[in-house]
Every structure is written in structure tokens, then in C-alpha cells.
Amino acid sequence: MMRYSALGVIAQALTGHRGWKPVWRDPVPQASYDIIIVGGGGHGLATAYYLAKEFGQARIAVLEKGYLGGGNVGRNTTIIRSNYLLDGNEPFYEFSLKLWEGLEQDLNYNAMVSQRGIMNLIHTDAQRDAFTRRGNAMILNGADAELLDKEQVRAMYPWLNFDNARFPIKGALAQRRGGTVRHDAVAWGYARAADLRGVDLIQNCEVTGMRIENGRILGVETSRGFIGARKVGVAVAGSSSRVMAHAGMRLPMESHVLQAFVSEGLKPLIDGVMTFGAGHFYVSQSDKGGLVFGGDIDGYNSYAQRGNLPVIEDVAEGGMALMPAIGRARLLRTWGGIMDMSMDGSPIIDRTPVDGLYFNGGWCYGGFKATPASGWCFAHLLAKDEPHKTATAYRFDRFLKGLMIDEKGQGAQPNLH
């Protein structure tokens, strides 16, 4: 199999690019595997890759209903960061950010990891206190954080609406190591690297049932027939409730639609990632020049992968309040993705009551940045039957035991997280 290098690209250019081969195989499913991962998105592919590479597992298959990377990994706004407050979250997300930093070398794949920095704007004194506390929590967990004053923000972005009467900009909490990654390339990079290690990536293969006997998983029924497995890991965030219903489980989550937006291509305007602290609006600029931005979920249960106009208006208002300069830019595209909104806003990576059946989901709208660590920790759980040390809090029973990881303090109301 071809290893990518600059020399290889030049050689292909000189020979009319006729030498490129398909990047992964298209295998026929075998009768059984040691481990089946349901869901060929970022998390599922990363899980399969780390199972093979880091945990010495073999005979692994990834089953994908549609095509690889056709779900949320290709629909998000590509931001990576580790700026969480709570102990259950921050070590995990910092582990993820460290994995992002070495990802391209590890995969031999250009995922365009760009540590262009992320900045959460501060608009009130109380918010500065809260962000100072958050920054300290980040530093205590080995991440980087920096408190910027108004003039430091102004030096970077002089055209922001600093003197907004209601929400003046007072400063920012910055994480310089945060940034963006080309999301499709993450799916492709993991898929190629997993395939190279012998993982069968099986597309157009929908799981339609689970065969469970005496409380133990024997395999999955699929649109391409029964496939046996010793262990099954489900990583299908957005559709978790539908898939886990095959095992008779009700999950602590609702599915919601989150919209994302991109403007027409503009000249370089924003070189990092920015979030508006007074509304829900975040923005970065793609390498093609489009402003990539988003805001709140629509707020009602949905599996539609498209939202409604009121949220588009709300997000546009947030954008205009923060940066009036974009008022003449035209919106190029909007789309939606389906989120597992969990009851405390945090994910679940855990065993289930069924022996050999494992679950990874509940990522709310923070799944993309978690991709490498989610894959690593899920692989750890599948291979060793015990949680990775950064993911010990992501359990199903935390709601029963009162050990919620609720960053926003909203309680069991998924559409407010």
C-alpha cells in the first residue's frame, strides 16, 4: 500500500496522476468477527484504528449504513479545543487535543490540523470571573489557557463591535492550541489507516437487529445478512436511541437537529476561532474563505438533518451583534446534523447490561473535537473491558447515582445543554 509523501505527489504529477489507487478495500463481510463497530463515522473509524494499532486486536469490522464519513463527521464546524471546566470532562478533551497534535504523522494523512487558536469573548465582569475559573481548571489539567484584555482582543480583531451598548467586549479566554481540522479528511485518514491494519470497512450495511441470547451478544442482523461477533461496539451518535432499541435499551438522550452555516468566500478576516459570549454564535473562516458558523440547536426532537428558519435568523442576529462588518456577506449554505443530546450535556462511553455490547454516544454538539480520544477510549474499553483513565466518568449510571457532568448546570433538559 502506498505511503503518502511529497516525493510521491511530485512523481504522480509528472505521470498524469494515473498511479493513484483506491484508498481502502471494499470487502465482503465475513461470517463473523472478534469485534464489530457499528457506525463508520469519525468515532467508529477511530475506534477500529486504535483497536488494531494500540490494543493489538484483529478480526475487526466497521459496519456503516451509508458511506464512510457521511454523517456528523462531515457536517460539523471542524473546531478542536479542550476548554472545559469539570474534572469529568477536561482531562478527556485535553487527551483528545494532544492526539490531534500528532494525528497527521500517526495516520500519514493530511487532515489539515490547524492550531489557529480559539477565543471565547467576555462581555461582563461576572463572565470574566467564570472564564478565569475555567482557564485555571484547564491549566490544572495540563491544557493551555490565557486571559486576554480588551486591547489584546482589539489588536487581533479591530473590527469587532467592542462598544455594543448591551454586550460590550471586555476581553477573552483564549486557547492558542485550539483550532480547526478538515473534518472529511479525519474520516478518510482513519479509514485508510484502519484498512491498512486489516480492518474490514463495510459500507451500505445497516444494522437491523441484534442477536442476544442469555444476556450475551452473538452478533448483529444487517441488511447484508447476519454477522457474528464476540464484541459489538455502537458508535452512531445521532441515531443511538434507534440502534440501541435493538438491544431493548432506552437511553438518557434525545435526538436534536443542529444547523451549521457557511457564507460566500471572503478575503481573510478571521484567522482563529471566535465565540460570542452573549449569544450563542461561533465562527471561523475556512481556507476557501467562507465564514463557517453556527449557534443553538433548533430545540425539538428531530431526525431530519435540516432545521427551520427561526434558528437561522437567531444565529444571523448573533453574528451581526458581534461583527456588523459581515452584514453584506451572503449566506451560501445551511445544513443540519442530528445530535445525541444527553441529559447532562456530556457523553457516555460504557458497557451495557448486555454482555459483549458496548456503547459510545451522547456527544451533544461536541463530538468532532473528541474524535481521537473517543476512539482511543472506546477501543480501550472494548479491548480491556475497563474504562480509559480519562473516560471513567462517562457512565450510564451517573444519572442514577447523582454524578452528572453538567457543564452548563441545566439539569435533565437536553435542549438547554
Contact region with another protein (CB under 8 A), list: 18-26, 225-233, 301-309, 327-335: 301-309
Cβ 236 to another protein, closest distance in Å?
12
d(CA 143, CA 338): 29
DSSP one-letter code for 163: T
334 touching another protein, by CB under 8 A = no
Contact region with another protein (CB under 8 A), list: 19-27, 69-77, 108-116, 237-245: 237-245
Cβ 295 to another protein, closest distance in Å?
15
Output the nine-digit C-alpha cell for 392.
471513567
254 touching another protein, by CB under 8 A = yes
With CB under 8 A, what is the number of residues at the site for another protein? 24
Closest alpha carbon to 354 in 260, 247, 203: 247
Closest alpha carbon to 195 in 258, 113, 109: 109
Cβ 93 to another protein, closest distance in Å?
23
Closest alpha carbon to 375 in 72, 81, 55: 55
Under a CB-based contact definition with an 8 Å cutoff, are residues 375 and 45 in contact?
yes
415 touching another protein, by CB under 8 A = yes
Contact region with another protein (CB under 8 A), list: 87-95, 142-150, 247-255, 353-361: 247-255
| CB-nearer residue toward another protein: 12 or 415 | 415
**Environment class of residue 342 by beta-carbon count within 10 Å: exposed (0-12), middle (13-18) or buried (19+)?**
buried
Q: Which of 96, 241, 263, 285 binds another protein (CB under 8 A)?
A: 241
337 touching another protein, by CB under 8 A = no
300 touching another protein, by CB under 8 A = yes
**Environment class of residue 409 by beta-carbon count within 10 Å: exposed (0-12), middle (13-18) or buried (19+)?**
exposed
Under a CB-based contact definition with an 8 Å cutoff, are residues 346 and 405 in contact?
yes
CA distances from 257 to 187, 238, 297, 340 (A): 21, 9, 6, 9
Provide the CA 136 distance to its chain's centre, in angstroms: 24
Around Cβ 133, how many Cβ atoms within 10 Å? 12
Cβ 244 to another protein, closest distance in Å?
10
296 touching another protein, by CB under 8 A = no
414 touching another protein, by CB under 8 A = yes
18 touching another protein, by CB under 8 A = no
The answer to whether the Cα torsion of 57, 204, 223, 31 is positive or negative is negative
57 touching another protein, by CB under 8 A = no
CA distances from 204 to 63, 70, 81, 207, 331 (A): 8, 11, 32, 10, 33
| CB-nearer residue toward another protein: 325 or 416 | 416
248 touching another protein, by CB under 8 A = no
Cβ 111 to another protein, closest distance in Å?
31
Cβ 19 to another protein, closest distance in Å?
44
Q: Which of 17, 166, 250, 267 binds another protein (CB under 8 A)?
A: 250
Cβ 321 to another protein, closest distance in Å?
19
Cβ 41 to another protein, closest distance in Å?
17
Sort strands 273-276 and 118-122 into parallel, antiparallel or unpaired: parallel
Paired with 260 in beta bridges are 294, 335
Contacts with 113 (C-beta within 8 Å, 6 or more apart), sequence order:
80, 100, 101, 103, 104, 179, 181
Contact region with another protein (CB under 8 A), list: 270-278, 283-291, 303-311, 376-384: 303-311
Contact region with another protein (CB under 8 A), list: 178-186, 246-254, 315-323, 359-367: 246-254
346 touching another protein, by CB under 8 A = no
Cβ 396 to another protein, closest distance in Å?
10
Q: State the residues that interact with another protein by CB under 8 A.
A: 239, 241-242, 250-255, 299-304, 308, 310, 343, 399-400, 412-415
